[in-house]
Amino acid sequence: ESVMRGTAPVAVVQKSVSWPVRDVLLHWAATVFGTAAEREVGRCLDRASAPKVVLDGLGSPSALETGLGGNRFSWSRAVQPVGPRHGPAGFGAEVRDFMGRDQKWA
């Protein structure tokens, strides 16, 4: 998060973790936003500027969550992908949203 917001450079964060920060952020950007966004994030990291600026407002072509922690596996979501909604219209909208995401993920 601190690298994405531009409050800490990759080199500083890298000292506190055992995984390759730059590579992971680039892979995440490519997976969630596409290769063009990955290139832009790489340029931001090279200039030590906040990658969040180039990603703000972008959607995921694969309908993935765009926050760093948004795509963690959840047994609850796996078992009940459509949550309880108030009334038939809300439930129907939730089912359509789920089916749209499921089609993109397939």
Q: Which of 64, 10, 12 is nearest to 37 (CA)?
A: 64
Give the per-residue pLDDT at 63: 87
d(Cα 19, Cα 102) in Å, to the nearest integer? 30
Q: What integer pLDDT is reported at residue 43 of this predicted model?
A: 94
Give the model's pLDDT for residue 68.
80
**Residuewise pLDDT in 10s, the chain (106 residues):** 889 888 889 999 999 999 999 999 999 999 999 999 999 999 999 998 888 888 888 999 988 888 888 778 888 888 888 877 778 888 888 888 889 888 888 7
The reported pLDDT for the residue numbered 32 is 93
- Nearest in space to 37 (alpha carbons), one of 18, 59, 6, 15: 59
Beta carbons within 8 Å of 37's beta carbon, 6+ residues apart? 29, 30, 54, 55, 58
**In this structure, which amino acid lies at residue 7?**
T
pTM across the whole model = 0.74
The pLDDT value given to residue 74 = 80
Distances in Å between the alpha carbon of 12 and those of 2, 3, 19, 27, 62?
Answer: 10, 9, 13, 19, 32
**In this predicted structure, what is the pLDDT of residue 23?**
96
